[in-house]
Chain A
């Protein structure tokens, strides 16, 4: 894309190309921050067919910078959907068997209402006047979408990273609507280290003079530099030291000698710059601020005095937790903490730690052991659900 990324145009295209629902017109969504939102739009994609009993729904929840295009070709980027390896006909989440729904989260920039949307009250983009949203708000918006689609309970809520947070939140907020939950590479609360990384990203955006206090759309600018730096810093945390060494080492980029300057001498620098520059073509800077904030605020047991087991007491949902050995963003200890709480609540839980050097992003990649576990759990749960 040559012209500056316009979240309004991208949202419009996503709504035209896909499906969307206008929700909360009569009964607005009460947000955790106290504000009310409505009407608002949720853009979503569906794959496969809803069966007559409406018992085959898989709700896939996307991560921080993902969107509703979980499978197939993404209409904005032209690349495969974020979980195209896993979701599709004959794949692990088999769209010939399940009806897969994936919705762009509240605060996002791919068709669901977010800070780039025009505020009907002012006729200008919300910018920073958009209310701060939480993972629980995202989940409540998804529940409203399911109500709108006439779907009661969901066979499985599944997602990695922030998607895993949503899966946990679903089981906590709507246990009776969640038959199975698969939180992958997730945590019950965002760690201090992760809040710190997010803060670096946000400050990079805020320090960009083109950000204009969040009002860059009115100024006809985009804080591309800040957003790119935020993405570069974040991207490091999605990989692992071993993976960086394996992929790049200290190898030089298109040169045989050091430049004794600040060009991208090293392949790893060139790679990160590329990650940063392509990201700004598909993501809105203010959405990045809002969604990282939602993750920072995530603490499932906060209103239970930190006692996570109490969140899951009496919950009938079947859980499968999966973590990755080299994930230092959401390390195995985070998943274990959830497993311990689920055990203490006598919930039905499976847990596997997958050995890999691919870091946090392993949940998006080709990891046979991970995929084998996922497939096994889903098949077992499908049998219990009577999905054959």
Chain B
């Protein structure tokens, strides 16, 4: 379910956005990776930070790959399966490049901050200037390197911008603890702390969230 091109599993190279996520996670933490793909992040975290990791993944092929790497991964999806986990079961719940493909992103976010002490969410930013330019100048739905699928083939049924996401967090009483704005190569500090500028310049947003008391 990862929507950014993944290098071949054998290479065991970890995508840059996953490395950014890994940096946010402390050693020995309990981590649930929702939409964990072939398990690259979980394996990286297990190897480098001794985390106790679990995963949820839609694709049978990816689940099999994870299970054969010795990872505890179940076949399922964010919309269906998060409701079963008890509150506070994990230190971190990760949703990488998947929020925009869920049926109910709002409920998924609420479940994530319920299950995890912290939630880490990354998603492609539809407010990026290239996306805006394609709509404005061509009048066509955007196709970029980050968002390569055509509108009728895309799994992204709920696209959002960085500002949309921040507004939803505010509405749900979810506090943003950290924010990273990056391009597709993981280069960060685009727009600095200026969210309007970041919304124009960043190809992806990465947020550490917490339920506000």
Residues of chain A at the chain B interface (Cβ within 8 Å): 318, 320, 336, 339-340, 343-344, 346, 348-355, 369, 372-373, 375-377, 379-381, 383-384
8 Å CB interface, B81-99 against A: 81, 84-86, 89
Asked whether A373 lies within 8 Å of B67 as measured between CB atoms, the reply is yes
- B190 / chain A contacts, CB cutoff of 8 Å: none
Interface SS of A by simple majority:
helix
Asked whether A346 lies within 8 Å of B64 as measured between CB atoms, the reply is no
In the complex, what residue of chain B is closest to A345 when comparing beta carbons? Answer: B86
Which 7 A-B pairs give the minimum distances between C-beta atoms? A376-B68, A380-B70, A351-B74, A340-B84, A348-B72, A350-B67, A376-B67
Residues of chain B at the chain A interface (Cβ within 8 Å): 54, 60, 63-76, 81, 84-86, 89
Asked whether A373 lies within 8 Å of B74 as measured between CB atoms, the reply is no
- A373 / chain B contacts, CB cutoff of 8 Å: 63-64, 67-68
Asked whether B86 lies within 8 Å of A381 as measured between CB atoms, the reply is no
Q: Which interface residue of B64, B74, B76 has the most chain A CB atoms within 10 A?
A: B74
Asked whether A353 lies within 8 Å of B84 as measured between CB atoms, the reply is no
Q: Which of A320, A343, A369, A380 contacts B60 (CB 8 A)?
A: A369
Rounded to whole angstroms, the CA-CA distance of A44 and B64 in the bound complex is 32
- B54 / chain A contacts, CB cutoff of 8 Å: 343, 348-349
- A354 / chain B contacts, CB cutoff of 8 Å: 60
11 CB contacts below 8 A, A to B, read A340-B81, A346-B89, A348-B72, A350-B63, A350-B72, A353-B60, A354-B60, A376-B70, A380-B69, A380-B70, A380-B71
Asked whether A339 lies within 8 Å of B74 as measured between CB atoms, the reply is yes
Asked whether B64 lies within 8 Å of A351 as measured between CB atoms, the reply is no
Given A339-B74, A343-B74, A346-B89: A352 in contact with B67 (beta carbons within 8 A)? yes
Asked whether A344 lies within 8 Å of B85 as measured between CB atoms, the reply is yes
In the complex, what residue of chain A is closest to B80 when comparing beta carbons? Answer: A336
Asked whether B72 lies within 8 Å of A352 as measured between CB atoms, the reply is no
Rounded to whole angstroms, the CA-CA distance of A3 and B211 in the bound complex is 73
Given A351-B76, A369-B60, A369-B64: A346 in contact with B70 (beta carbons within 8 A)? no
- B85 / chain A contacts, CB cutoff of 8 Å: 343-344
Asked whether B60 lies within 8 Å of A346 as measured between CB atoms, the reply is no
Given A376-B69, A380-B69: A352 in contact with B75 (beta carbons within 8 A)? yes
Q: How far is the CB of B10 from chain A (nearest CB, A)?
A: 15
Q: How far is the CB of A367 from chain B (nearest CB, A)?
A: 12
Rounded to whole angstroms, the CA-CA distance of A191 and B75 in the bound complex is 23
Q: How far is the CB of A342 from chain B (nearest CB, A)?
A: 9
Rounded to whole angstroms, the CA-CA distance of A376 and B60 in the bound complex is 13
- B76 / chain A contacts, CB cutoff of 8 Å: 336, 339, 351
In the complex, what residue of chain A is closest to B68 when comparing beta carbons? Answer: A376
In the complex, what residue of chain A is closest to B89 when comparing beta carbons? Answer: A346
Rounded to whole angstroms, the CA-CA distance of A318 and B81 in the bound complex is 19
Rounded to whole angstroms, the CA-CA distance of A372 and B70 in the bound complex is 13
Rounded to whole angstroms, the CA-CA distance of A343 and B56 in the bound complex is 11
Q: How far is the CB of B58 from chain A (nearest CB, A)?
A: 11
Rounded to whole angstroms, the CA-CA distance of A147 and B66 in the bound complex is 35
Q: How far is the CB of B114 from chain A (nearest CB, A)?
A: 13
Asked whether B81 lies within 8 Å of A377 as measured between CB atoms, the reply is no
Asked whether B68 lies within 8 Å of A352 as measured between CB atoms, the reply is no
Rounded to whole angstroms, the CA-CA distance of A354 and B63 in the bound complex is 11
Q: How far is the CB of B33 from chain A (nearest CB, A)?
A: 13
Given A352-B64, A372-B64: A318 in contact with B84 (beta carbons within 8 A)? no
Rounded to whole angstroms, the CA-CA distance of A339 and B85 in the bound complex is 11
Given A343-B84, A369-B60: A380 in contact with B67 (beta carbons within 8 A)? yes
Asked whether A375 lies within 8 Å of B86 as measured between CB atoms, the reply is no
Rounded to whole angstroms, the CA-CA distance of A352 and B71 in the bound complex is 12
Rounded to whole angstroms, the CA-CA distance of A346 and B66 in the bound complex is 18
- B72 / chain A contacts, CB cutoff of 8 Å: 318, 348-350
In the complex, what residue of chain A is closest to B72 when comparing beta carbons? Answer: A348
